[in-house]
């Protein structure tokens, strides 16, 4: 590790946190009804949209109506994307004459992008037309991010509500998050990327003749517009198969820094929005401190292992230095390590290096972050997971100290604990069960391109990525087949919607409860002592559920490496 690289990682994370505070305040003003200075600009536009789609903005929805609308809209969008992928060979804006996607791959891709996962079992520049990239892929990258944010906002309203059955209006929230946040930010960021050389064109591929006389076909297209929302929406699905390791998606060190900032911007802002909704900014500050600490430790574990290099190569061949396998020279180990930590902490899934090529403990951290699924997490979904674990932590803490569990002025009872437990347990189940099935079937084992423990890590990483709605991969897995497209597609859908359904049920219960004034018997959740307990709870839960699998995956690989050197 170098001093410059270490300072660079810390500065990037500090910038993300600093920008999240004012943006979090802005989101609070937009969705709390307190008003924003930009209302005069956006309200006339939003009224036009309301009239066009037949929305009555004054109608308030119960949690069941809000959830029902959210699920129906997501289902319709998924079907729309599936049909676009299946019919793209007959649709316009297809200058390179890309044929239709096979049905299983189309299902996997539609499930992937509607769930904000953006797992790609295809090569984008070869498998999608320009129309598919724009009206299916880019479109769902906006709407899936918006879905996560409005789900979190609805839950925050339930905390601040006083004996109310209303969580707001889904359509109003869904339109606002587009008009007031995602579209403006994406347009600005896309223009910045174009300025750095990222393509944005509807012309077909370019044929180039090299100095040696060879012919090279260079794919291009509307890349900058997709890249912008890919990072801002914590989506991660790249235009090209190499994702952000491709120079057309991520041309320089400056663009990779901007992309990391974009990934963390909205998830960090929502933590601060949470603090504003409950009228307790110290609560948000405590979460900021402890989640940032986990992120920083993870980033430096990756950085340390990658800069230490591969001891087997050093021992056998005398090759010392940084492990540069799978990394771009223009980024180097510091930015690659930071990117790997940030993309999995914020469950984005974009990669500027190949995680399959990380050292065993370097690959362990991205996998662990996705298993935790709340180190800030993705747009909206991350905050829901944080709140779910806060409820569980309050319950466990109340048992230890003999106090009635309360959180944010609302009493926590059996119904809320049962629902939070369901939301918590579904995550390890949909990771470990499919991993076991894949590794015990001949079809599943045939997908592995690496033997031994690393092959197990590839499968474990894949289902962890799908369940966490992340989308990054250990690239040695050959996943484009009917078996994996269907199983991974189902894991992505279950990972997204089961927890959302459970958290909405909790929201409906909390909204109807009266607020309880804080007293001497109230367990405070805005202290650093409670923050430490909160981290301990999700680390212990992660260890209890995932340690056996990790022990025969990346941890086992690390031990094998040491054993081969006689350590």
Is 70 exceeded by the pLDDT of residue 567?
no
Relative to beta strand 410-411, strand 406-407 is: antiparallel
d(CA 334, CA 7): 10
The encoded tokens of residue 251 equal 């041309």
Q: Is 351 exposed, middle or buried (0-12, 13-18, 19+ CB in 10 A)?
A: buried
Task: Return the percentage of the chain with pLDDT > 90, whole number.
Answer: 71
Is 70 exceeded by the pLDDT of residue 97?
yes
In angstroms, how far is CA 72 from the centroid of its own chain? 22
Tell me the three-class secondary structure of 297-336, residue by residue: HHHHHHHHHHHHCCHHHHHHHCCCCCCCCCECCCCHHHHH
Task: Return the percentage of the chain with pLDDT > 70, whole number.
Answer: 98
Q: What is the mean pLDDT of the chain?
A: 91
Domain ranges of the chain: 3-278
Number of residues that this document lists for the chain: 567
Is 70 exceeded by the pLDDT of residue 519?
no
Least Cα distance to 199 among 174, 223, 170, 235 occurs for: 223
Mean pLDDT check: name the lowest of 160-164, 292-296, 374-378, 541-545. Answer: 160-164
521 pLDDT tier (thresholds 50, 70, 90): low
Helices 253-277, 3-32: crossing angle, 10 deg rounding:
40
3-state secondary structure of 217: strand
Least Cα distance to 244 among 271, 218, 223 occurs for: 223
What pLDDT sits at residue 390?
93
3-state secondary structure of 155: helix
Cα 502 to Cα 155, 406, 449, distances in angstroms: 11, 19, 37
d(CA 141, CA 311): 41
What pLDDT sits at residue 409?
81
According to DSSP, residue 524 is labeled: -
Least Cα distance to 463 among 383, 373, 541 occurs for: 373
Higher-confidence residue of 126 and 68: namely 68
As a whole number, mean pLDDT of residues 128-155 equals 95
Is 70 exceeded by the pLDDT of residue 518?
no
What pLDDT sits at residue 548?
92
Is 90 exceeded by the pLDDT of residue 442?
no
What pLDDT sits at residue 499?
94
What pLDDT sits at residue 387?
94
Tell me the three-class secondary structure of 458-491, residue by residue: HHHHHHHHHHCCCCCCCCCECCCCHHHHHHHHHH
Which residues is 477 bridged to in the sheet? 448
367 pLDDT tier (thresholds 50, 70, 90): very high
As a whole number, mean pLDDT of residues 288-315 equals 91
Alpha helix stretches (DSSP H) within 329-440 = 332-345, 360-372, 381-401, 414-439
As a whole number, mean pLDDT of residues 509-522 equals 77
3-state secondary structure of 225: helix
314 pLDDT tier (thresholds 50, 70, 90): confident
């Amino acid at each position: 590790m170098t001093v410059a690289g270490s300072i660079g990682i810390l500065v990037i994370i500090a910038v993300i946190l600093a920008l999240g505070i004012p943006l979090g305040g802005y989101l609070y003003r937009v969705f709390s009804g307190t008003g924003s200075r930009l209302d005069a600009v956006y309200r006339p536009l939003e009224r036009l949209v309301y009239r066009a789609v037949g929305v009555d903005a004054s109608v308030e929805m119960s949690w069941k109506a809000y959830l029902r609308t959210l699920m129906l809209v997501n289902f319709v969008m998924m079907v729309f994307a599936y049909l676009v992928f299946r019919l793209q060979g007959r649709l316009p804006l297809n200058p390179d004459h890309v044929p239709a996607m096979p049905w299983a791959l189309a299902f996997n891709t539609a499930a992937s992008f509607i769930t904000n996962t953006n797992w790609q079992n295809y090569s984008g520049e070869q498998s999608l037309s320009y129309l598919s990239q724009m009206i299916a892929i880019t479109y769902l990258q906006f709407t899936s991010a918006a879905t996560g944010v409005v789900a979190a906002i609805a839950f925050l309203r339930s905390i601040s509500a006083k004996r109310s059955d209303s969580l707001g209006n889904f359509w109003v929230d869904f339109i606002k998050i587009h008009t007031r946040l995602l579209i403006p930010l994406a347009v600005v960021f896309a223009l910045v990327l174009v300025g750095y050389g990222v393509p944005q064109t509807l012309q077909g591929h370019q044929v180039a003749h090299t100095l040696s006389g060879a012919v090279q076909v260079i794919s291009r297209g509307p890349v900058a517009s997709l890249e912008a929302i890919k990072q801002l929406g914590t989506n991660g699905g790249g235009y090209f198969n190499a994702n952000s390791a491709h120079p057309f998606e991520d041309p320089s060190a400056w663009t990779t820094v901007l992309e990391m900032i974009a990934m963390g911007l909205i998830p960090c802002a929502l933590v601060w929005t949470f603090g504003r909704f409950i009228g307790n900014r110290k609560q948000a500050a405590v979460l900021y401190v402890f989640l940032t600490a986990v992120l920083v430790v993870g980033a430096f574990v990756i950085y340390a292992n990658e800069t230490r290099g591969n001891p087997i190569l050093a021992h056998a061949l005398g090759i010392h230095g940084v492990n540069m396998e799978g990394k771009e020279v223009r980024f180097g180990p510091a930015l690659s390590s930071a990117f790997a930590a940030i993309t999995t902490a914020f469950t984005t899934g974009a990669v500027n290096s190949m995680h399959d090529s990380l050292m065993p403990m370097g690959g362990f951290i991205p996998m662990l972050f996705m298993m935790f699924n709340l180190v800030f997490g993705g747009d909206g979904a991350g905050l829901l997971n944080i709140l779910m674990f806060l409820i569980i932590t309050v319950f466990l803490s109340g048992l230890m100290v003999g106090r009635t569990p309360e959180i944010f002025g609302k009493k926590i009872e059996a119904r809320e604990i049962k629902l939070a437990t369901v939301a918590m347990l579904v995550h390890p189940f949909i990771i470990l069960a499919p991993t076991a099935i894949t590794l015990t079937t001949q079809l599943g084992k045939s997908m592995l391109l690496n033997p031994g423990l690393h092959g197990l890590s590839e499968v474990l990483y894949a289902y962890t990525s799908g369940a966490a709605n992340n989308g990054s991969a250990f690239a040695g897995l050959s996943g484009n087949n009917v078996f994996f497209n269907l199983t991974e597609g189902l894991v992505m859908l279950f990972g997204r919607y089961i927890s959302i359904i459970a958290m909405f049920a909790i929201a409906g219960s909390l909204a109807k409860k009266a607020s309880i004034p804080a007293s001497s018997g109230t367990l405070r959740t805005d202290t650093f002592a409670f923050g430490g307990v909160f981290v301990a709870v999700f680390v212990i839960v992660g260890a209890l559920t995932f340690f056996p699998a990790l022990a025969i995956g990346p941890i086992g690989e690390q031990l094998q490496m040491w054993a081969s050197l006689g350590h």
